[in-house]
Amino acid sequence: MIDSKHIEFLKGIVGAENIYSDKAHLIAYSYDATRTRYEPDAVLFPRHEQDISDILKYCNKHKIVITPRGAGSGFTGGALPTNGGILLGMEKHMNQILEIDFQNMVAVVQPGVINMDLQRAVEEVGLFYPPDPASEEYCSVGGNVSENAGGMRAAKYGITKDYVMALRAVRPNGDIIRAGKRTIKDVAGYNIAGILIASEGTLAVITEITLKLLPKPKFTKAYMGIFPSVEDAMNAVFKSLAAGANPVAMEFLDSLVVQALKEKLGIELPESAGALLIGDVDGNVSDEVEFQLEILDKSFRENGAVEFIIADEGEDRDKLWYARRNASPSITIFGSKKLNEDISVPRSKLPEALTRIYEIGDRYGFKVPCFGHAGDGNIHVNVMVDGSSPQELEDGHKAIEEIFELVVDMGGTLSGEHGIGTSKAPFMSIAFNDEELSLFRDIKQAFDPNNILNPGKMGLPN
Ligand SMILES: Cc1cc2nc3c(=O)[nH]c(=O)nc-3n(C[C@H](O)[C@H](O)[C@H](O)COP(=O)(O)OP(=O)(O)OC[C@H]3O[C@@H](n4cnc5c(N)ncnc54)[C@H](O)[C@@H]3O)c2cc1C
């Protein structure tokens, strides 16, 4: 708990207009997308890196807990101030695009920049920043780095970590560190930027991010493959990629999602549709795009597709993507609440993983509609419950735990996108052995010996 003496000192650092300690603001900043609520004791908006250093130095001395916050769109509770203390918000001042270096194809941004604002700014000069989480309109790049966010385009273009070249950050003792360089090659020293990526605000506060950019591809087309069964679609995923297809996105919708789209939104799909693959292909010459579509068409049909549809950019493409965009809202026909996890398995294991996930759902009596980024092996698994009883919810969580055990056993991971935070912290011992968890604690101790920065997240000590 921080008292008025601390508040007064912190006002001296950031100015009275950049600190909130009134109830209304504390409530407003007590949420993220998990919709769980923890109130901080104060919300601070640092103006620049030096403010952050001064705040951390003071808090380290007085053992005041700090939680960094981007846009608060996290799905696993990383930005929740679970221990009270200070919430350090990047949204108000630390939100500038500092540089777009066209010649080196690099952007330098502050952590509070909104992902989509960066995408738009670089596209204006013919460049391209591919990581596109579905929350792109409101999540921050600092939050993306801290969660190693991914998006639809990951199948071809990878995820946030593939674009981070360098970071500036402030350690909990106030030290300002630089990690990485604006060079394609940099092999000097430990890869500290690599450790900070996906560290969920537990090691340092990121203050500046240098990102690799690409040239913006000139041509894009969308495709949809309609398959009679989930197994056929899943086989088509890894077989088409092994055959040389390189789609920007390859999104999967299973038979329950297809049913929900038809029933809830009246989307017209053939009677035989048991699963869909939807995506984009792109390129700098139109022949490249056509070549990609040919490979997909052939591979999909060889793996049972009953139809392969192609759409140009614009309205036709939007129509194809409509089904994918509405997958999540449509599945509420199976239950008012979804226990949603974003597991990832090696792509060749997808058919078996899904069969066994449905078996787990059946055993507990839950529908488990699945959809997501099949092109990169990352599937959103939704155990649908209706909140009818505490027992039902408990069973739902047991089913999730079994699903985690299954995917880890198959060489997969607890989270392909959303991170661990507080929601998945109890499951860390499924994915990591004692020695690995001990190493995580040692790394945390090296950065933050007083455990003031976002304690209790990622299964680390409170
Ligand atoms: C509708 C919806 C769709 C989503 N779709 C996707 C998706 O497709 N792919 C995906 O990967 N995620 C997705 N997410 C999850 C979320 O948007 C991402 O995890 C995003 O990266 C979080 O960014 P944020 O700015 O909101 O971070 P926050 O939620 O504010 O924080 C996330 C974590 O980052 C830490 N953090 C934030 N800023 C800093 C900083 N400057 N220094 C150190 N630590 C910091 C916080 O402490 C916290 O641990 C979605 C969320 C929603 C609500």
Q: Is 83 a residue whose pLDDT tops 90?
A: yes
Record: fold of 335-428: Alpha-Beta Plaits (3.30.70)
- Same fold? 4-92, 97-215: no
- The per-residue pLDDT for 388 is 83
140 lines ligand 1 (CB under 6 A): yes
89 lines ligand 1 (CB under 6 A): no
Q: Is 313 a residue whose pLDDT tops 90?
A: no
Q: Is 6 a residue whose pLDDT tops 80?
A: yes
Domain 219-328, CATH number (from 3.40.50.300, 3.30.70.2190, 3.40.50.880, 1.20.1600.10): 3.30.70.2190
- Ligand 1 center–CA 44 separation, angstroms: 19
- The per-residue pLDDT for 387 is 84
376 lines ligand 1 (CB under 6 A): no
Q: What is the mean pLDDT of residues 433-449?
A: 98
- The per-residue pLDDT for 352 is 93
- Give the position, in ligand 1's atom list, of the atom nearest the Cα of 169: 42
- The per-residue pLDDT for 417 is 93
- The per-residue pLDDT for 212 is 98
Q: What is the mean pLDDT of residues 334-348?
A: 92
Q: Enumerate the domain spans of the chain.
A: 4-92, 97-215, 219-328, 335-428
Q: pLDDT tens across 226-265, in order?
A: 999 999 999 999 899 999 999 999 999 999 999 999 999 9
95 lines ligand 1 (CB under 6 A): no
124 — pLDDT class (breaks 50, 70, 90) = very high
Global confidence as pTM: 0.96
- The per-residue pLDDT for 52 is 98
Q: pLDDT tens across 92-117, in order?
A: 999 999 999 999 999 999 999 999 99
200 lines ligand 1 (CB under 6 A): yes
Question: Which among 300, 275, 284, 296 is positioned nearest to 216, based on CA atoms?
Answer: 284
Share of the chain above pLDDT 90, in %: 93
- Give the position, in ligand 1's atom list, of the atom nearest the Cα of 150: 11
- Ligand 1 center–CA 5 separation, angstroms: 32
Mean pLDDT of the chain: 96
316 — pLDDT class (breaks 50, 70, 90) = confident
Q: Could you say which architecture CATH assigns to the domain 4-92? A: 2-Layer Sandwich (3.30)
Q: Is 1 a residue whose pLDDT tops 80?
A: no
Domain 97-215, CATH number (from 3.30.70.120, 3.90.1300.10, 2.60.40.10, 3.30.465.10): 3.30.465.10
- Give the position, in ligand 1's atom list, of the atom nearest the Cα of 140: 25
Q: What is the mean pLDDT of residues 275-304?
A: 96
- Give the position, in ligand 1's atom list, of the atom nearest the Cα of 200: 49
